[in-house]
A = this chain, B = another copy of it.
């Protein structure tokens, strides 16, 4: 579904060279040749091609190792761009990032609620068009769009495999239609996986790190990255931490088929429900008991907790404790060195989740004595998934080697 757009002469070597330059920040041709195991003349030729297309630039000289100091190369961030779109019922975020993965423009809106896809996609497309127009970035420099959303989904086919938010979305050719409207390639991926890879791309983790991400917006998802690659599993529907059982024995049935799922006890909709049965908090905060905008309702409870409301704080802490339990399961199974908390619901609740989850992980994870397991907020804040969607477009461009194997 996604076709590479940058220039001709595409090759594995080219992708490897671009990715190495990106990861290094600055690097000399000699270092490139050594890292990649190719001859000097081959590297020189590939670099000449990439410089000719404006993707790579020379940026001065490095330290001499005896002879003439080597010229350093780096990516040319404004050479090309990609768009990331977070799509969920109550929130859409559109970001434009440069070749270095840094956001240069952003917009968000409240989402397309219960619109069927035929109505929602033109709305989404007009927002992307609007952002591109005001950004001043030439459309020909935009590699594509990374649309990220919840699962289950068929990433290859570019369709959601769930009747959310309405029946019409199930199996709808979402990437194909959005691509037709925008005249840009579109890829589909999981929001939590996107949030996870964004962390790596922006240099917030060590290159070899095996880390996880818990993503909380209206629901709860997860992603794991192994040394720069998203852990995919059989069908890219992995790390669905919102749907692991925290009470498998007595838990309620969940729409996913499982019983006692984390999301139904600790997710935003559950916390809102609890606010109506705990000290009249829901009424006091003026929440809508029948509302479906869980982001806004949860945000009010989180804000109240941060402001010192003891009832709100107890609900958020209870949610955090359950997320901590699930994080322990995740770290014990994946043997992670870090858990990143990403998404608007974590952002809304400040550091409460971080401290409680860190405490649980540090006390209960199987490998906690063998290596540290840090719990940290995402460097990309509440836009982590959208930025990650844009990064996945860049990554599919720069690491064709990996995608092709």
Q: Of all chain B residues, which has the CB nearest A222?
A: B333
Task: Bits for A227-253, please: 1 = Cβ < 8 Å to B, else 0.
Answer: 000011111111111011111110000
- 13 further interface pairs, Cβ-Cβ under 8 Å (given A235-B367, A235-B370, A243-B366): A154-B370, A161-B370, A210-B233, A234-B337, A234-B370, A237-B367, A244-B328, A245-B328, A247-B249, A248-B325, A256-B366, A259-B364, A333-B333
The answer for the CA separation of A261 and B10 in the assembled complex, in Å, is 51
Task: Bits for A367-378, please: 1 = Cβ < 8 Å to B, else 0.
Answer: 111110000000
A335 touching B248, Cβ below 8 Å: no
Given known pairs A245-B325, A364-B258, the reply for A236 and B335 (CB within 8 Å) is yes
Give how many copies assemble into the complex: 2
Contacts of A109 in B (CB 8 A): none
**Interchain CB contact (< 8 A) of A335 among B209, B210, B232:** B232
The answer for the CA separation of A363 and B332 in the assembled complex, in Å, is 24
Taking the nearest CB of chain B, how far is it from the CB of A190, in angstroms?
Answer: 11
A234 touching B336, Cβ below 8 Å: yes
Task: Bits for A127-147, please: 1 = Cβ < 8 Å to B, else 0.
Answer: 000000000000000000000
Taking the nearest CB of chain B, how far is it from the CB of A79, in angstroms?
Answer: 29
Count A-side interface residues using an 8 Å CB cutoff. 49
B210 touching A240, Cβ below 8 Å: no
B333 touching A240, Cβ below 8 Å: yes
The answer for the CA separation of A238 and B210 in the assembled complex, in Å, is 11
Question: Is there a chain B Cβ closer than 8 Å to A77's Cβ?
Answer: no
User: In residues 242-282 of chain A, which contact B (Cβ within 8 Å)?
Assistant: 243-249, 256-259
**Interchain CB contact (< 8 A) of A368 among B241, B257, B365:** B257
Question: Is there a chain B Cβ closer than 8 Å to A330's Cβ?
Answer: yes
Taking the nearest CB of chain B, how far is it from the CB of A378, in angstroms?
Answer: 19
Question: Is there a chain B Cβ closer than 8 Å to A176's Cβ?
Answer: no
Dominant secondary structure at the A interface: loop
Contacts of A367 in B (CB 8 A): 152, 233-235, 237, 240
Question: Is there a chain B Cβ closer than 8 Å to A329's Cβ?
Answer: yes
The answer for the CA separation of A125 and B353 in the assembled complex, in Å, is 51
Closest 3 CB pairs of A and B: A233-B335, A238-B335, A248-B325
Residues of chain A touching chain B, judged by Cβ–Cβ distance below 8 Å, are 151-152, 154, 161, 209-210, 222, 231-241, 243-249, 256-259, 322, 325, 328-330, 332-337, 363-371
A235 touching B335, Cβ below 8 Å: yes
Taking the nearest CB of chain B, how far is it from the CB of A65, in angstroms?
Answer: 25
Q: Can you list 13 residue pairs at the A/B interface with Cβ under 8 Å?
A: A161-B370, A234-B335, A234-B367, A235-B367, A237-B367, A240-B333, A243-B366, A245-B246, A257-B366, A258-B328, A258-B332, A259-B364, A329-B333
Contacts of A336 in B (CB 8 A): 233-234
Taking the nearest CB of chain B, how far is it from the CB of A191, in angstroms?
Answer: 15
B154 touching A233, Cβ below 8 Å: no
A244 touching B335, Cβ below 8 Å: no
Given known pairs A328-B245, A366-B258, the reply for A233 and B334 (CB within 8 Å) is yes
Taking the nearest CB of chain B, how far is it from the CB of A209, in angstroms?
Answer: 8
Interface centre among A249, A325, A333, A364 (most CB of B within 10 A): A333
